Amino acid sequence: MKILISLNTAWNLLNFRAGLIRALAAEGYEVVAVAPYDDHALQLPDLGCRYLPLEMDNQGTHPGRDALLFWRFLRLFMRERPNVYLGYTVKPNVFGSLAARALGIPVINNIAGLGAVFIRDGWLVKLVRRLYRLALGRSAKVFFQNDDDRQLFTTGGLVRAEITDLLPGSGIDLTKFSVAPSHSLTGTDRKFRFLLIARMLWDKGVGEYVEAARIIRKRWPQAECCLLGFVDVQNPAAISREQMDSWVEEGIVNYLGVSDDVRPEIAVADCVVLPSYREGTPRALLEAAAMGRPIITTDAVGCREVVDDGHNGFLCKLRDAGDLAEKMELMLSLSDEQRREMGQRGREKMERQFDERIVIEKYLKAIQDILSRQTAQSN
């Protein structure tokens, strides 16, 4: 039995779906991983899958290029003939699903956050909604990462409620992301480190984080604010390299570049911050909590699910740098022991609610249900 899984980047496959790919391969499925080529594609076969490159214009809205992507998916499915298709991110979810549907291939979609398009309004939102409605119309299962997104799709008539289910994000590998020892600040000259991990987008709240860092820098000279993640990405909300360089030169923040393994940076951080406007379930916060770090994030869709306010971190107001700074100061005012206990409660929350095995088991069951129906129909 063959499972074809597609995302918008090979990096995404390697970093967010490695556990699922390994589990599918371990169950005896032939797994074909499909995404545009990047350097991370070379590592995908190590997961037990076969990688196939597929060119796609991830951020563009040109109808000609989107029609070409549909045709590429159609040719790919005609050649590979998978038993089930797993789609993630907008273009594979829409055009991959439409191509699979045309050939009678069952589809399982994952709506992992709605991104910049659904934060705004206008013709593009209306177009994307129509495409989703068309693409998800005959899906076998549609997974969402928070109930706000699921309600938005079901009440808007984009998908039938009975085929939807919730996942705890992409899940977190609790063996890979284990608790890192916390650092004592008492009696040392070590700086307290805040860390934001994300693609450098305005919609991730990077602007508010920088403004909050300005406030913190004046009042708490023993604190530093760092950023880790891709800059100058292909996105309408992208922060330019020039803007980032300007902030660094001003001495407000430290930009740490990018990393294929965020664990060393989380380990030396004291608190992880993500003041995003909207998420599916933010992976960076799951990783930080799993490693025993307290977190600060916005009381926004997808973010609030990760934080029990005052228990394993703090929630701040959306698009409010002043309130974010207040929560960062509150974190600074805690004792080493209070922050350690907060981080431990975050780890326990990850074990209860966000273990990657929950995600894998739901996928295995959905796939088995589809294959059982196929067997019954053929008999």
CATH value at residue 60 = 3.40.50.2000
343 and 374 belong to one structural domain:
no
330 and 219 belong to one structural domain:
yes
335 and 292 belong to one structural domain:
yes
197 and 146 belong to one structural domain:
no
What average pLDDT does the chain have? 93
CA–CA separation, 340 and 334 (whole Å): 10
Domain that holds residue 252: 192-353
345 and 300 belong to one structural domain:
yes
Q: What's the Rg (C-alpha) of the chain?
A: 21
Which region among 2-11, 121-130, 359-368 has the lowest average model confidence (pLDDT)?
Answer: 121-130
pLDDT reported for residue 180? 96
pLDDT in tens, 269-328: 999 999 999 998 999 999 999 999 999 999 999 999 999 999 999 999 999 999 999 999
pLDDT reported for residue 116? 53
Residue 185 belongs to some domain of the structure: no
203 and 279 belong to one structural domain:
yes
* CA distance from start to end of the chain: 17
Q: How confident is the model at residue 236 (pLDDT cuts 50, 70, 90)?
A: confident
115 and 201 belong to one structural domain:
no
pLDDT in tens, 112-135: 877 555 655 677 778 888 889 999
Q: Residue range 334-340: average pLDDT?
A: 95
Structure tokens at 376: 């019954």
In the predicted structure, residue 229 carries a pLDDT above the cut 70: yes
pLDDT reported for residue 194? 98
158 and 200 belong to one structural domain:
no
Residue 149 belongs to some domain of the structure: yes
pLDDT reported for residue 366? 97
Residue 186 belongs to some domain of the structure: no
Q: How confident is the model at residue 235 (pLDDT cuts 50, 70, 90)?
A: confident
Residue type at 329?
Answer: E
330 and 372 belong to one structural domain:
no
Contact 230, 260 (CB under 8 A): no
279: helix, coil or strand? Answer: coil
- Nearest 5°: phi and psi at 198? -175, 165
Residue 28 belongs to some domain of the structure: yes
Q: How confident is the model at residue 260 (pLDDT cuts 50, 70, 90)?
A: confident
- When divided into structural domains, the chain yields a total of 2
217 and 113 belong to one structural domain:
no
pTM to 2 decimal places: 0.89
Residue 97 belongs to some domain of the structure: yes
219 and 291 belong to one structural domain:
yes
146 and 243 belong to one structural domain:
no
